Every structure is written in C-alpha cells, then in structure tokens.
Amino acid sequence: MTIKLASTDRIDNDIREENGTQENRLTVKQKVLSYNPLTTCQPHTLHYAMKGVGYLPTPLLESLVGYLKGPSSKQYLHADAHLRLILAVNSKLVHWEDKVIANADDGDMTIRCYQSDASSHGLGFKKADTHNSDETVLLYFHGGGFCIGDVNTHHEFCHAVCEQTGWPIVSVDYRLAPEHPAPAALKDCITAYAWLAEHCHTLGALPSRIVLAGDSAGGGLSTLIAQQLSAPSQVAWSDLGSAGQKMFDLLERLPKPLAQMPLYPVTDIETDYPSWELYGEGLLLDHADVAVFDAACLDNSPLPRQHILNCPMLGDNSKVCPTYIVAAELDVLRDEAFAYAKQLKVHGIAVKTHTILGAPHGFIHFMSIHQGIGQKTGDIIKGFASFVRDVINTQSQLAA
C-alpha cells in the first residue's frame, strides 16, 4: 500500500521558518499525517496481505496453516487452505483497549487490557469464548525508574506476551514520581490488582491465577506486591497512617498471585554489588540515571529510604509465589536480581533464573529491531508460560 504525502512532506535537509522557529521537514511530516497507523494502516495492510497469499500454491498455504497451528482440513471439511489460513491468522490477533479505573487515592488511572480472543474486539470484556485455556491473566507494571514510562512505552512487549501465551494482559499506568513519590506507584498497582481480582472472570481467568510481571522499576513493583500479598506487613503499612491501614486491610482480602516474572528488577536500595562497578557507566542505565530516579522517587516520600515498602529485600519473602527472574548480563542491576533469587531459594520458594547474555538493561525495547534480542525475548515469554503451567499442574496434583 502506497501513501502519497503532501509536497510539504518531502524528506530532505531543507530548513524553513515556521511560526518564528526553524524546523526540519522531518518534523513536518509528523504534523501532516493525522491518522493513527495502529488503527488505519495495519488493518488495510493485513487485508491486502491476506488477499495476496490466496494466490500461493495450496501446499504452501497448508504449511502456513500448520505453522500457525490453524484448523486442519479434517476439522473443517469444506474450508480450503486459504480460508483456514485466514482463520488461523485471526486467532493470533491481539485486541486491546484502555479503561479508566480508580487509583489508590480515588483519582483516575488508565489500564490497558489485551485479549487474543477476536470476539472481544470493540465489544468490551466478555466471558464468552476465549482462547485462555490456562484461565490465567497477567498484570504488568512498566519500567522507567518510577518516573517515566506508561502503557504506550511497553505496548509492544505486552502485545507479544498476549499473542504468544494466549493470556489476557492488563498493563497499569500507575502514578509517577516526582509528582507522586513512593509509595504511590505501589499503592496504585495493588489497587489495580484488586480491580483485576474482581473482574478477571470477564477475561476468562480465575482470581487464583493472576500472575505478575514487570521490568526494571516495574519488576521491583512486582516483587513488592508479591511479597505484600503473601505476607502483608501491618507494621510497615501503619507508617502511612489511616491510608496505610486501608491498604493493609485490602491486601488481607485479596487472593495470592500464582507466579511472577520480574525482568531485570530493582530489588535493593543498596548498591554494593559487583555489577554496579562493572556496568555502571556507558550503558543504557548508569549510576547517574539511578541517582536521579532514586531522588525523584524517594526524597519526598513519607517513608524512610530503608523501608520495607521501598525495598523488597528488607521484607518477608518466605511465602512469595513461584518466581521466574530475568536478568540482563550487561546491567547495573544484574546482581541484585541474583541476590533476590538467592533469598527466595533460601526460603524454599520455587525459583528459576534466566540471564540474557550480552543484553543491556531495558533490552525488551529492542525486540523488534534486533533479531537476537527478539528471539531471546520470545524465549523468555515461552519459558515463563511453561513455568506458570508447571505451577498450575503442580497445584492441581496436590489438590487431587
């Protein structure tokens, strides 16, 4: 499909005066194009692509159907290979929508909900036919040092997890520092968990099968929430007064998560790990970045820096859910991920650690532009799905 741009959209190095400022025409292009490519280009591109593949030889079409695990000719006797390929592709599509729920302080908070069930598109959430055979839902907390990031910055990863696992995904747009210092993000994410526990049936999931995941700061939130849902600390929450008591009461009523996947998480306030010396300069996250994020998040917090609700390593992790930890080799935070894993193992928690060699902090953002990272990210998703299904099978055997 060809999109013809206006003459003012030529991509060159010309500079012009506009509204008293100099502007490169590369930026003009972004102003002229008013459509949303997610809602305009992709559906039309897919339409023409699916029309075009119909001219491929039938054996090749059958191979594509098999690759996508689509319906066989035995399942649909009168559907040709092209139609079954269309059905297979449709079953892989992920549909998403944003919803607004209340945050921990009764303000507005956006969550983005993903489903692979085609019948959910544009219709809100329904319990009707879904592909969620695991009856599992994943709650995701984005990274960004508690200061940046949102559901958009982590859209690609959440989309991929939904597509590859078949699970619905709920991504949380929690409040950010410095406007909202710790523990605002933690409280918002617990509130989102409570919302999901109440509404997960609309996504074809069970309250007992909520899994947590997050990267970087979001990975830290995952570890804190897993801890506080398994062993809520009334003493810690009492430091926040009546609001803290309210959160503690909520935590005691909520179901425990099934499992968690923190990716290169923030787990400790201390910085005396070897990886801090090895990878603290010249990479995507360095000492200066961490200092800025910490100051924004903690300097105006009502809690002291060394507090259970700021640092998961300080709390009771003896009852935390099974954990699949992902670390990046070239990451200043690498060793605190290992330290967290070691602490869980000491308590007898089921733990699996997956280290991505040669990868820096934040590598999931490279999944579509670096082939190797894309493959490794896919392996992570596949590995966590297998880990969760093993947890489900183990629980089922124990209950039998």
Which tens digits make up the pLDDT trace of 36-85? Answer: 444 444 445 666 787 888 899 999 999 999 988 888 999 888 999 998 99
Same-domain pairing of 202 and 281: yes
Report pTM: 0.80
Considering the domain architecture, whether residues 26 and 59 belong to the same structural domain is answered as: no
Rounded-to-integer distance, Cα 331 and Cα 282, Å: 11
216 is catalytic: yes
Domain assignment of residue 235, yes or no:
yes
Residues 315 and 368 in one domain: yes
Q: Into how many domains does the chain fold?
A: 3
- Same domain assignment for residues 30 and 56: no
Q: Give the model's pLDDT for residue 231.
A: 98
Strands 169-173 and 210-215: unpaired
Which of 268, 331, 335, 365 is the catalytic position?
Answer: 331
| Residue in this structure with the two tokens 């360095």, named with its chain if needed | 286
Range among 10-24, 124-138, 340-354 rated most confident: 340-354
The pLDDT score that the predictor gives to residue 76 is: 87
Same-domain status, 270 and 229: yes
What is the average per-residue pLDDT within 150-168?
95
More confident residue, 243 or 43: 243
- Whole-Å CA distances, 128 to 95, 98, 118, 125, 343: 15, 20, 11, 9, 42
Catalytic choice (82, 142, 361, 365):
361
For residues 385 and 271, membership in a common domain is answered with yes
- pLDDT tens readout for residues 362-380: 999 999 899 999 999 999 9
Active-site annotation holds for 121: no
pLDDT of residue 69: 83
Tell whether 66 and 160 lie within a shared domain: no
Q: How far is it, in rounded angstroms, from Cα 263 to Cα 154? A: 13
- What's the mean pLDDT when you consider all of the chain? 87
Query: Of the residues 216, 222, 230, 275, which is catalytic?
Result: 216
pLDDT band at 117 (very low <50, low <70, confident <90, very high): low
291-324 pLDDT, tens digit per residue, is: 999 999 999 999 999 999 999 999 999 999 999 9
Q: Does residue 140 sit in the same domain as residue 6?
A: no
The predicted structure's pLDDT at residue 213:
99
Answer yes or no: is 134 within a domain. Answer: yes
Quote the domain boundaries for residue 352.
Answer: 95-399
Question: Are 173 and 57 in the same domain?
Answer: no
Q: Which CATH number goes with the domain that contains 359?
A: 3.40.50.1820
Same domain, 22 and 115: no
pLDDT of residue 92: 72
pLDDT tens sequence across 255-275? 999 999 999 999 998 878 999
Residue partners of 48: CB distance under 8 A and separation at least 6: 1
Active site residue 180: no
In a domain, 39, yes or no: no
